[in-house]
Amino acid sequence: MSEAQTSFTPRVFSGIQPSGGLTLGNYLGAMRRFVQWQDRGQQEGFETIFCMVDLHAITVWQDPDALRRQTRELAAGYIASGLDPAKSILFNQSQVPEHAQLAWIFNCVARMGWMQRMTQWKDKAGKNTQNASLGLFAYPALMAADILIYHATHVPVGEDQKQHVELTRDIAAKFNHDYKVDFFPETEPVIEGAATRVMSLRDGSKKMSKSDPSDMARINMTDDADTIANKIRKARTDPDALPSEAEGLEGRAEARNLVNIYAALCDSDIASVLKDVGGRQFSEFKPMLADLAVEKLSPISSEMSRLMETPDEIDRILGLGADRARAIAAPILARTYEIVGMIKS
């Protein structure tokens, strides 16, 4: 079969940076959806691959011991959320050197102008671009390599990563065009709906973030039941009762966020939740939300702490995942080198 006729089998890839603690936002926005993809992959017979992108994390300074701990914690979070190393490939980016190798090729395909337009680069580098790392600038080329080293076709990510997945398509298209091949697929970003965007508990206009100075603004995946309940009790709201329809949440960012979290935790949507809880005061709704959050999250946080007690076991699982990932990545890198004109070793 000539390469022009290659068709790409569906394959899902996504990654999370091990650059800090995991929040409810990571769980609802990423991990829970990864588990749904894993289950679909099992039914429909496609591969699902989830990575801890430590090479991306060091584009800004990371303390080495903290990075090691956070990488294991992220792996524990993946597994505790329901990703099964027997069903999905779970691994650590730096253990599969083909990512960095393909990233170099892509550094030579991508244009400076493309990189300069990336909004994440502009945000993260800030005013002092001269002092940002070269890795931070090249970040999207490494991300393209993460995806394309597996010929992944579907990439579930948050809205903030859409531009990077589109750049991945541009890199694939330019590579295919320059070398006259149809080798890399044009990957689809699969963007999470607004429904999974979890906002701060203190300010409904800000994303729930691991870097928020106030721990009360977020629910961490490692919080115990009392902490979760307390944070929800103290969450900022307004004095009005809950509306019966979604329109009634307009201009009430904090109220909307809590209803949204409730809906996501019970796999429902805002409209159906409001049908049940419309008319209630927050004094009544918050305990309902706290119970639901504890019911869903505390098994995950206790499983995470159990897994963290045996870091060797986590490392073993990641090692096996890396072997499986390499089995896919190595032939794709070898073919890429051949296309580019590198002599075989």
Do residues 34 and 14 touch, judged by C-beta distance below 8 A?
A: yes
Instruction: Identify which of residues 15 and 321 has a Cβ nearer to ligand TRP in the complex.
Output: 15
The active-site residue out of 124, 162, 206, 296 is 124
Helix axes 225-234, 282-308, angle to 10 degrees: 150
The active-site residue out of 87, 206, 207, 296 is 207
Closest CA to 25 of 180, 198, 274, 225: 198
Closest distance to ligand TRP from the beta carbon of 55 (Å): 9
Asked whether position 17 contacts ligand TRP by CB under 6 A, the answer is: yes
- Point out which span in 32-40, 142-150, 190-198, 311-319 binds ligand TRP (CB under 6 A): 142-150
Give yes or no: 207 in active site.
yes
Residues 264-323 that bind ligand TRP (CB under 6 A): none
Structure tokens at 68: 């090691």
Do residues 202 and 39 touch, judged by C-beta distance below 8 A?
A: no
Closest distance to ligand TRP from the beta carbon of 155 (Å): 5
Give yes or no: 286 in active site.
no
Question: Judged by CB under 6 A, which of 161, 196, 301, 336 binds ligand TRP?
Answer: 161
∠ CA 333-92-139 to the nearest 5 degrees? 65
Instruction: Identify which of residues 139 and 183 has a Cβ nearer to ligand TRP in the complex.
Output: 139
Give yes or no: 206 in active site.
no
Closest distance to ligand TRP from the beta carbon of 60 (Å): 11
Instruction: Identify which of residues 46 and 230 has a Cβ nearer to ligand TRP in the complex.
Output: 46
Question: Judged by CB under 6 A, which of 12, 13, 50, 72 binds ligand TRP?
Answer: 13
Do residues 228 and 24 touch, judged by C-beta distance below 8 A?
A: no
Would you tell me how many other CB atoms lie within 10 Å of the CB of residue 15? Answer: 24
Instruction: Identify which of residues 72 and 164 has a Cβ nearer to ligand TRP in the complex.
Output: 164
Asked whether position 53 contacts ligand TRP by CB under 6 A, the answer is: yes
Q: How far apart are CA 232 and CA 211, in angstroms?
A: 19
Asked whether position 146 contacts ligand TRP by CB under 6 A, the answer is: yes
Instruction: Identify which of residues 155 and 329 has a Cβ nearer to ligand TRP in the complex.
Output: 155
Residue whose CB is nearest to ligand TRP in the complex, by number: 15
Task: Return the H-helix or E-strand segment holding 84.
Answer: none
Closest distance to ligand TRP from the beta carbon of 301 (Å): 22
- Residue 220 phi/psi, 5-degree rounding, is -85, 150
What number of chain residues touch ligand TRP (CB under 6 A)?
13
- Residue 128 phi/psi, 5-degree rounding, is -90, 65
Question: Judged by CB under 6 A, which of 12, 15, 183, 307 binds ligand TRP?
Answer: 15
Closest CA to 143 of 318, 13, 324: 13
Asked whether position 155 contacts ligand TRP by CB under 6 A, the answer is: yes
Do residues 102 and 336 touch, judged by C-beta distance below 8 A?
A: yes
Instruction: Identify which of residues 29 and 243 has a Cβ nearer to ligand TRP in the complex.
Output: 29
Q: What is the DSSP string of 46-76?
A: -EEEEEE-HHHHTTS---HHHHHHHHHHHHH
Alpha carbon separation from 11 to 38, 60, 85, 195, 331 (Å, rounded): 10, 30, 16, 24, 16
Q: How far apart are CA 318 and CA 245, in angstroms?
A: 46
Closest distance to ligand TRP from the beta carbon of 284 (Å): 36
Instruction: Identify which of residues 25 and 243 has a Cβ nearer to ligand TRP in the complex.
Output: 25
Asked whether position 55 contacts ligand TRP by CB under 6 A, the answer is: no
Question: Judged by CB under 6 A, which of 57, 58, 83, 143 binds ligand TRP?
Answer: 143
Which residues of the shown chain bind ligand TRP in the complex (CB under 6 A)?
A: 13-15, 17, 53, 56, 143, 146-147, 155, 157, 161, 164
Catalytically annotated residues: 124, 207, 210
